[in-house]
Structure 1
C-alpha cells in the first residue's frame, strides 16, 4: 500500500489559516449567542414584572429568529472565506445572500409576533374567534408576500417583469385552478360577510348539513355533526346554498296543542285564562314576544288549545328544562279544574232492532 503524498507547504498554510479563521468565527458566534441569551433572560425577567403584555409577546417573537441570525450570518462569512481560499473564486451570491437572510429573519419575527398576538387575544376570549383568525391569516399572507418579493428583488429579479408574467400566468393558473380559487374567495366571503363563525350551530335546508363549525380554512370549512362526525365542506358550496344559523336566534319557541276531554268543555275558558296568566308570570318566558293561548279546534277526540310562546333562553338544554316546566304547570292547571287531558278515543254506538210476529222491524 503506497503512502499518501505529503502535504505541500501551501496546503498546510491554507489549512492553518482556514482553521484559525473558522475557529475565530465560530467562537465569536458562540460568544454573541451567549450574550444574546443573557440579554434575553434579563429582558424576560423585567417584562414579567410589568402588567403590559405586548412586551412579552414581542420578546418571545425575537428569541429564536435572533439566535438563528447569530449563527447563520457568520456561517455565510465562513463559507465565503472557505470557497475563496480553497477554490480561488469569489461568489457574488454569497455576499448577496446576507440581505435575504436579514429579510427572512424580519419576516419570521413578524409572523411569530402575529402568532403570539393571535394566541393571546384568543385566550382572553374578548373578541370573535373567526375575526381574529381571519385578520391573523391575512396579515401572515401579506408579510410572506412582501418578504418573498423583497428577496426576489435582492437577487436582481425584475418585479415589473415578474408582475407582467404573473398577469398572464395568473390567467392560465386561474383557469386550471378554478375550483381552488372559488374555494379561496368563498372563504374570504365567509370571513367578511360572517354568516357564521367558529362555534356556531349551522344547518342548510338545501343540503344535509347540520352541526357545529369547528374551523374555517382558506379552502374548506369543517363542521362537526351532532353524531360527532366531521364534515369537510368546500367554501365555494356556501355561495350556492341557503345557510341557517340557529345560534343567532333571539328566542326559542314553544308551540304545543293541548287537548282536553269533550266532557270538560264548560271548563275550557277558565283553563285557557289560567294557562295564559301562568305564562305571563313565568320568569323564563319572554312576554315581549308573541304569546297565544286559545281554544283552537274541535279535534276527533278532544277540544284542542293552542299554546304558543317564546323562552328567554336560546340554550338547547335550558330550553327543554323550561319547556318541561311549562307543560307540567299546564297539566297541573287542567287537573286543578277537575278536567283531564284527552287521549285518542272512539265511541261506538250500537243500535238494536225489535221485530213483530210477522218479521217487520219496529225499531
Structure 2
C-alpha cells in the first residue's frame, strides 16, 4: 500500500511529464501563433485603408486570403530557386570530392526537399485563412512525416554501393545478394517506423495495435507459412552460395540468367527474354544446375566417313584429328580427350570425338566448336576421304525377260 507522500510524489512526476509533453507539442503551435500575430499586424493598416478587404468569403477575410495565396506562390518560387541554385551548387561541390556517395545523397534528397516546400506552403496557406482544423493539421503532420521518411529511404538507397562494400568484407562473391537482403530489411524497418508515426498522428495506439496482432498470431502464422518458407529459403541460398546474380542456372524446368535473389523470390531471365519468378523455397529444395561454374564445356560428336575410306586413311585421319585437338588453344588439355573409330554405321564409318572446350562462355564455345569443325573437314579432305550421308544401295541380280508377241492389254 503506497503512502500519501509516495502518491503525491507520483502525481507530481506525472504532472511534470505531462507538462514536458505539452510544451514539446506546443512548440509548433506557438510558432504558428506568432506568425499569425505578425501577419495580422501587417494587415491591420490594409484593413483600415481598404475596408472592402474586411469582407469575408466562406468566413475568410479577403486580405487574409490574398496574403495566403501570395505567400503560397512565394514559397513555390523559393522552391524553384532552391532547386536551381542551392542544389546545383551543392552538386558542383560534391563533384570535386573524392567519393561519389555525396553526389548520390544530394540527388536522392532533391525530390523530398522539393516536396517539403509544398508541405510548408500548404501549412502557411491554411494557417493564414484560419482553416487549420484538426483534420487538416493531421493531414499536414502526416505529410511532414511522409517527407521525412521518404528522405531517409532515398538516402538509404543512395548508399547501396556503401552497403555492398561493407558486405564484401564478409563474402566478396555474395556481396550484392547480401547487400540487397540487408537493404530490403532496412527499408521494411524504416517504412514500418514511418507508418507507425503516421498512425500515431491520427490517434491510433500503435503499441496496442501491435499487441492485438498477437491474438490472431496463429491465423497469421498459417497464412504466412509460405512466406516464412520462402524467407528461410533465401537464408539457405545465401548460406550455401549455390547461385549468384548473373549466373546461368537451370532449376527444374526453368533455365536462364539470375537477375535477383530477393527475400521471397528469385528472378531468372530466360533466353527467350521472359522474366521467371521462382519462390525461394522451390529454389532451395530443387536440384540446381549451375552452368556458369563448370569452367569448361563438353564437345561431343560423331563424324561419318564413306565406306570407300581405307583403313590407312581412317588411321591417319584419327591421328591428325587427335593431334589438332592436342595443340588447339581452345581445348582443355587436362580433361578427357578421345578420338576413336567407333563403329560401322548403316551408311558410314563412324569416328567418335570427345573433348572439352576451355571456356564456359557460350559465344566463345561456339567459336571454338566452329573452328574445330572446319579443321576436321580440312583433315578429311587432305586424306582423300569424304563425309558420308544417309544412302541405300539397291542391287538387281536380273531383270525379267520380255516375252515375244506379248501385247499390252487394257
1:256 maps to 301
Q: Does 1:336 align with 2:378?
A: no
1:107 maps to 149
1:357 maps to none
SS at match of 2:289: coil
Match of 1:139 among 186, 197, 207: 186
1:246 maps to 291
Match of 2:354 among 301, 308, 324: 308
CA contact (8 A) 2:298 2:356 kept: yes
Matches within 5 A, 1:135-284: 135-152=182-199, 158-179=205-226, 182=229, 186=233, 195-204=242-251, 207-213=252-258, 223-229=268-274, 231-260=276-305, 261=307, 264-284=310-330
Provide the TM-score with structure 2 as the length reference: 0.63
Give the Å deviation of 1:130: 5.6
1:101, 1:313 → 2: CA distance?
Answer: 56
Deviations 1:271-303 (A, max 9, x none): 333222211111211212222223444555655
Greater shift in the superposed pair: 276-285 or 254-263: 254-263
SS at match of 1:287: coil
1:192, 1:151 → 2: CA distance?
Answer: 37
2:20 maps to none
Q: Structure 2 vs 1, CA of residues 25 and 304 (structure 1 numbering), >3 Å: closer, same or farther?
A: same
Structure 1 segments (4+ residues) deviating >6 Å: 6-14, 91-99, 119-122, 126-129, 345-352
Give the Å deviation of 1:250: 1.0
Give the Å deviation of 1:64: 2.1
Deviations 1:306-329 (A, max 9, x none): 321111232323322321221232
CA contact (8 A) 2:256 2:271 kept: yes
2:174, 2:97 → 1: CA distance?
Answer: 23
Give the Å deviation of 1:195: 4.1
2:322, 2:55 → 1: CA distance?
Answer: 110
Root-mean-square deviation (CA, aligned residues, Å) is 4.6
CA contact (8 A) 1:294 1:307 kept: yes
2:18 maps to none
Q: Structure 2 vs 1, CA of residues 73 and 253 (structure 1 numbering), >3 Å: closer, same or farther?
A: same
2:402 maps to none
> Structure 1: any 5+ residue segments left out of the alignment?
1-5, 86-90, 353-363
For these two proteins, the number of residue pairs brought into alignment is 337
1:53 maps to 100
Deviations 1:59-99 (A, max 9, x none): 112222123223314533553665579xxxxx678777776
1:288 maps to 334
Greater shift in the superposed pair: 320-329 or 178-187: 178-187
